[in-house]
Amino acid sequence: MTPRVLLLAAALLAAGCGIPPAPHHHADLRAATPPPLSFRQGARICADLNRWADRAASQPMPRFGVTMQADESEASGSQLGSDLATLDGDLQTENSAALLPGPPGYPTDESALKADCRVFGVNFTDGGLGR
């Protein structure tokens, strides 16, 4: 090869030939999947849920505050996160009846949250919300 061809080849290699690198699909999937909750995280979130339920029981239109919204986000991708998101959505439409049992499409049944919290060693009490 001539020096001129070598210089051109070196310049193309240095510039990356204008071709973007292939995406790393496996790395992207791992980054998109949240890590599972630790026992400590789940227990803390369930304790927050108990404190929230105790206060919310006396409110005519209970809603998740900043702490519960952060907990819901942290728990996303887990069963607890899914059930918190369902409760949050139900609170937006059903308010204080959100924890009453009902068929699918009806307000959240507190038994799902109780089962979730039992996994983390916490006894969820609805604070009187599911009257």
Residue 57's closest CA among 97, 107, 110? 97
Two tokens at 55? 């206060």
Q: Is residue 17 part of a domain?
A: no
Q: Is residue 57 part of a domain?
A: yes
Q: Is residue 68 part of a domain?
A: yes
Domain encompassing residue 82: 39-119
Q: Is residue 9 part of a domain?
A: no
Query: What are the pLDDT tens digits along the chain (131 aa)?
Result: 555 544 445 554 455 545 455 555 454 555 556 678 999 999 999 999 999 999 988 888 889 999 999 999 999 999 999 999 988 988 887 665 555 555 555 556 688 899 999 999 999 987 766 55
Note the pTM of the prediction, 2 decimals.
0.67
Q: Is residue 88 part of a domain?
A: yes
* Total structural domains within the chain: 1
Contact 99, 126 (CB under 8 A): yes
